[in-house]
A and B are shown apart, each in its own frame.
Chain A
């Protein structure tokens, strides 16, 4: 029920990724640094009067001075000027690589991901082939054939990087092409080019920008590396060439090594940090992500129950929830309260229905009793009395001993609650051994008995099966077997039949009823279905917006609901609504 939590609890952060990124100091600094470098290189003629290729014999290896700000190199060329002009080569080279990689990777990735079939096969084959090539060796080979044409070489490097873009785009498109809004656009008569441009490209945009910033950094490094090796064009200045030059004079003028090194480092660092910041900003846009300790206002974690509130008495009550308040740390600071002052009392051997619509807090209440509230959620006040102990303050270990032993749990989604990597039998046997201290063989016998008891036709086969090999209805039976395996006194079932087909639902309800009668368990049944309540429950609590609006026996609730909300819910059920009947007059279209 994650959707419910989002709706009721934590509001997603405001603003798009761009705005969020501008609040991140790392992003702002890295963008500023990068833009500054670009600006310096573009504005080179305005910043220095020196020609980067003009050699001056008098200035050979000159130290920094008012004339040559950073000194001059072994040919007497101005280092500052070469740094700025050299940046142009490096950045333009990176741009060429980027354009080629994106220009090849994006369209092919889009086509392969969207249409698949033969184009996808050919595309993926070529991508794999390209990726398996050692790029530096390929580049050296290209240089040895075409000579030191740096932009051509960088374009080839772009081709070598394009499989990465291809794969990223393709997997993004495949993830989104099954979405219903794509189908809806098709049915709306939108043509393919537009669907791809509007719906598909939007999804892959962010990861592509991140990948591009990383690739640009890589291109700068590769370009510098080739020039450093001395295979580049020696007539145009570049950072790599300056490194090479400095390296040759490392004893005479060690300072020369610093300047190009700093420039390369700053550029590559700014690009990667920008990519990282962008990734964070995009991930933050995903809803349902909550952060602990994000709230400015924090309530004290435990507050004594208000005076007058019932202390859990041990009478016949099995579970006594009093004044339960659950809050989530909200993004903007403060808390979002999703359950506010709920009282609930479940007796031994009683089936207690908790009914409500999404956002009513019924699942949150159940999760709080189990101690399974999602991250960020906390019991702010109130008590959860179970057999004399207060579950709200109980330590992890003590609670762990209760869960699975004296309190059983049946979740809503059977499939996602079985671990796909273990067999059904293993998942049943482990808790039995832990809670009842049985031997492996005894636990196995008990598990097989239980599988038989919950109506599984061939218990041995199911015992050895993996979760993907059984149907949803069978999985729910397995989970029920697991929940009752240690003879719990309290069974908490959260929408146990919602994910099942109606005929399977009827069988599971029958099973729950007979198990409950046989073992006299107290059951807390969370549901939105009044038919299920009528079928199984003795008492009912109706919840709305995190509060209890009404509680009573099942007869009272159905026959004389007191609260208008309960009446509205009962009126919304369609089981008793009259059928619509046949179409009387075929109407003329207006």
Chain B
């Protein structure tokens, strides 16, 4: 393994309590991960596990109370607004909801131009780059003048991916990018992400609740529970033959699309849960 592109060390994130003097809610309790250039790290967990918060901490959108986030050797934990704007060249994001992540009143062209003009790219160069991006994510060139509402969920997610790619980033945080999509669209968008990674060498921090999606795209996988990482390692091993009981429970809870094998898995799960209860 080469030296890491992103290194998150013992990061703690607290959200203030709802009422005055209420105890803050600790969303991350000392989490450490690292991602190499060109690598995908899958981050799996159920709702409330803190997986999205970790992605947001890397992006500077969540308040880091302790620990450090290092990118390319530089400590960016508490990078100021100016430095953050510069970092947007290197770190980008694709959100879960392709409906609310695109401003409904802006054309696709204006949405894609935003990161480019913010980085000071000339208008004509930006125009060319936008055409290139649309081509790269498999959208027609005339999409430029259309509004998000003219596109389906999968196509909108392609726009969001194109926006993330605009400045040739080194890392993209993908926060449940396919979970709002239909089954067949989901597979195509995942293949697009893999294809882009193989061509451009971008790294992904891929957040998802779906073990099978994570297995498909990740080189390595981290499993989160209650703000902590409970299992961390090789993707194939974690998603097929997990060591931690929680990961095993997750794996067995996901139904297999095959009636015969699902019946077997159901029995295995019942047996596993029974031993877990008696074991305690």
Contacts and interface: CB of A to CB of B under 8 A. Distances in A.
A579 B239 contact: yes
B93 A184 contact: yes
Given A503-B253, A575-B254, A583-B219, A357 B61 contact: no
B37 A587 contact: yes
B97 A180 contact: yes
Contacts of A192: 81
Given A12-B149, A580-B219, A582-B235, A181 B253 contact: no
Interface residues of A, number: 63
B100 A558 contact: no
A191 B257 CA distance: 47
A357 B217 contact: no
Interface stretch (B19-27, B84-92, B125-133, B136-144): B84-92
Interface string B246-257: 000110111111
A560 to B, nearest CB: 13
A234 interface: no
Nearest to B116: A188
A528 B235 CA distance: 26
B235 A572 contact: no
A533 B215 CA distance: 22
Nearest to A581: B236
Nearest to B202: A589
Contacts of A358: 153, 182
A5 interface: no
Interface in A503-561: 503, 505-506, 509-510, 528-535, 554-555, 558
A149 interface: no
B162 to A, nearest CB: 12
B170 A589 contact: yes
B250 A503 contact: yes
A574 B213 contact: yes
Given A189-B115, A535-B266, A582-B220, A590 B258 contact: no
Contacts of A582: 219-220, 234-236
Nearest to B82: A191
A311 interface: no
Interface in A558-588: 558, 568-577, 579-583, 586-588
B257 A583 contact: no
Contacts of A357: 182-185
A552 to B, nearest CB: 12
A87 to B, nearest CB: 36
A503 B252 CA distance: 8
A202 to B, nearest CB: 5
A458 interface: no
B209 A501 contact: yes
A188 B106 CA distance: 15
Interface string B60-94: 01000000000000000000010011111101110
Contacts of B86: 189
B145 interface: no
Interface string B187-228: 100100010001111000000011111011111100000000
A287 B149 contact: yes
A184 B101 contact: yes
B95 A183 contact: yes
A380 to B, nearest CB: 26
Contacts of B183: 357, 528, 530, 569, 572-573
B119 interface: yes
A187 B55 CA distance: 12
Contacts of B1: 583, 586
Interface in B160-190: 160, 163, 166-167, 170, 182-187, 190
A580 B235 contact: yes
B39 A583 contact: yes
A460 to B, nearest CB: 24
Contact of A577 (B91, B215, B250): B215
A569 B240 contact: no
A188 B258 contact: no
Contact of B46 (A502, A570, A581, A586): A502
Given A184-B163, A185-B114, A506-B269, A179 B36 contact: no
A505 B236 contact: no
A138 B31 CA distance: 59
Contact of A189 (B39, B88, B257): B88
B273 to A, nearest CB: 9
A262 interface: no
Given A501-B209, A506-B269, A574-B216, A186 B61 contact: yes
B231 to A, nearest CB: 15
Contacts of B257: 530-531, 533-534, 558, 570, 573, 575-576
A187 B200 CA distance: 20
A418 B16 CA distance: 29
Q: Counting chain B CB atoms within 10 Å of each CB, which of A184, A534, A589 scores highest? A: A184
Contact of B184 (A181, A190, A568, A577): A568
Contacts of A28: none
B53 interface: no
A534 B36 CA distance: 38
A184 B156 CA distance: 14
Contacts of B255: 505-506, 509, 529, 531-532, 534-535
Given A357-B182, A357-B184, A586-B36, A187 B91 contact: yes
B259 A558 contact: yes
Given A190-B115, A502-B250, A579-B236, A531 B187 contact: no
Contacts of A188: 88, 92, 114-115, 118, 163, 166
B101 A586 contact: no
A434 interface: no
A472 to B, nearest CB: 8
A187 B59 contact: yes
A7 interface: yes
B235 A579 contact: yes
B43 to A, nearest CB: 15
Nearest to A181: B103
B237 to A, nearest CB: 8
B124 interface: no
Q: Counting chain B CB atoms within 10 Å of each CB, which of A502, A509, A554 scores highest? A: A502
A194 interface: yes
B75 to A, nearest CB: 19
B108 interface: no
A405 to B, nearest CB: 31
Interface in B5-31: none
A3 interface: yes
Nearest to A179: B100
11 contacts: A7-B152, A12-B149, A191-B85, A203-B105, A357-B183, A502-B46, A503-B253, A554-B259, A575-B257, A577-B215, A583-B219
Given A531-B255, A573-B257, 8 more contacts: A181-B100, A202-B105, A501-B209, A531-B257, A554-B259, A574-B190, A580-B218, A589-B38
Interface of A: 3, 7, 12, 179-181, 183-192, 194, 198-199, 202-203, 287, 357-358, 472, 501-503, 505-506, 509-510, 528-535, 554-555, 558, 568-577, 579-583, 586-590
Closest 4 CB pairs of A and B: A531-B255, A189-B88, A530-B257, A188-B115
